């Protein structure tokens, strides 16, 4: 009999491959159909491949991307984690093959609109990729390897790499194209952040009530969510008051409000948006191993 862990892992592989296929495919679409016709570059290693292609007009961006990623994946295999690297290798293959063979151009004449469109499409794709156990190769693997090996911040290294890339691009290539590329990168970073968090946002609720026991019971039985009692005290009276903490799905917030005020019309309730929630019943931790 197949164990639960094996069944869960088997379900996870198709799901992660689907996310990588969809996300990397959208990224390749944005690059091939919009960015390349307007001579825009993205950040990271793929942006480096685009810049080399524009300047040398030799190999295609997809081929340059694969060549630049070969030493990166060797380092990733040694220092990051083989499961993450294997998923990322698939992501690299999708991006490279789609960029090489996709024959499509979105006819946008205004370079600013093209920058925005490319940023939206690429950002949507990369945001989807962030929900998988993998990436599209390149800068992410370098950043994680350096962080594990030397403790260098992932965000700081990515920022330093992209600043260096664009300084070189400004000095060696068309400055107008680079300025439009900055617009593209700004847009896709915002879209990517939004897409990567939109499905993980939940509501964190703090409840101060004399009927906390009954409210807690309803949360457990009717909403099927956990609840934690925190110790608090009134700032004016100094009276000890338990504070109930729970996290619920967005669609459950109205039901939670109803059950709270059904028990205590004088309850004090604070509702906060969360960026991400990790744990049972919500998202899982992304492991690079």
Q: What is the CATH number of the domain that holds 239?
A: 3.30.70.120
Same domain, 175 and 224: no
pLDDT at residue number 91: 93
Residue 41 falls within a domain, yes or no?
Answer: yes
Task: Tell whether 287 is covered by a domain.
Answer: no
Pair (25, 90) in one structural domain = yes
Domain annotation covers residue 155:
yes
Give me the percent of the chain exceeding a pLDDT of 70. Answer: 89
- The answer, as to whether pTM is greater than 0.85, is no
Return the minimum-mean-pLDDT range out of 87-91, 111-115, 156-160. Answer: 156-160
HEC string of 150-210 equals HCCCHHHHHHHHHHHHHHHHHHHCCHHHHHHHHHHHHHHHHHHHHHHHHCCCCEEEEEECC
Please indicate, yes or no, whether residues 129 and 238 belong to a single structural domain of this protein.
no
Range of the domain at 208: 203-273
CB-CB neighbours of 151 under 10 Å: 7
Query: Within this chain, do residues 185 and 67 fall inside the same structural domain, yes or no?
Result: yes
- Same domain, yes or no, for 212 and 187? no
- Condensed to tens digits (0 to 9), the pLDDT of residues 21-34 reads 999 999 999 999 99
Residues 69 and 190 in one domain: yes
Q: How confident is the model at residue 279 (pLDDT cuts 50, 70, 90)?
A: low
Q: Is residue 285 in some structural domain?
A: no
127 in the same domain as 168: yes
Across the range 89-118, mean pLDDT stands at 93
Confidence of residue 143 (pLDDT cuts 50, 70, 90): confident
| Tally of domains within the chain | 2
**Is 236 in the same domain as 168?**
no
Q: What is the pLDDT of residues 43-61, one digit of tens each?
A: 889 999 999 999 988 899 9
Token pair of 284, please?
């899982």
229 and 191 assigned to the same domain: no
| Domain annotation covers residue 278 | no
Based on the domain organization, do 66 and 181 belong to the same domain?
Answer: yes
Same domain, yes or no: 187 and 81: yes
288 belongs to a structural domain: no
Q: What is the mean pLDDT of residues 254-279?
A: 85
């Amino acid at each position: 009999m197949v164990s639960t862990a094996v069944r869960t892992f088997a379900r996870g592989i198709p799901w992660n491959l689907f996310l990588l296929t969809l996300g990397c495919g959208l990224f390749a679409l944005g690059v091939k159909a919009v960015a390349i016709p307007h001579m825009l570059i993205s950040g990271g290693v793929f942006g480096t491949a685009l810049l080399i292609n524009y300047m040398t007009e030799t190999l295609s961006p997809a081929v340059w991307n694969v060549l630049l990623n070969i030493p990166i994946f060797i380092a990733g295999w040694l220092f990051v984690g083989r499961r993450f690297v294997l998923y990322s290798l698939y992501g690299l293959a999708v991006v490279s093959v789609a960029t090489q063979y996709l024959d499509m151009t979105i006819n946008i004449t205004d370079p600013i609109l093209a920058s925005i469109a490319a940023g939206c499409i690429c950002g949507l794709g990369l945001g989807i990729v962030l929900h998988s156990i993998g990436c599209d190769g390149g800068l992410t693997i370098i950043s994680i390897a350096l962080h594990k090996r030397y403790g260098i911040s992932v965000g700081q290294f990515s920022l330093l790499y992209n600043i260096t890339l664009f300084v070189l691009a400004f000095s060696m290539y068309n400055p107008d194209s680079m300025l439009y590329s900055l617009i593209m990168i700004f847009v896709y970073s915002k879209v990517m952040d939004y897409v990567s968090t939109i499905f993980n946002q939940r509501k964190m609720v703090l409840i101060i009530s004399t009927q906390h026991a009954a409210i807690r019971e309803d949360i457990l039985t009717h909403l099927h969510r956990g609840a934690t009692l925190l110790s608090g005290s009134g700032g004016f009276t100094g009276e000890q008051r338990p504070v109930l903490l729970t996290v619920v799905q967005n669609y459950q917030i109205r039901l939670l409000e109803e059950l709270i005020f059904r028990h205590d019309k004088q309850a004090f309730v604070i509702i906060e948006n969360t960026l991400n929630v990790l744990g049972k019943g919500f998202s899982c931790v992304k492991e690079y191993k």
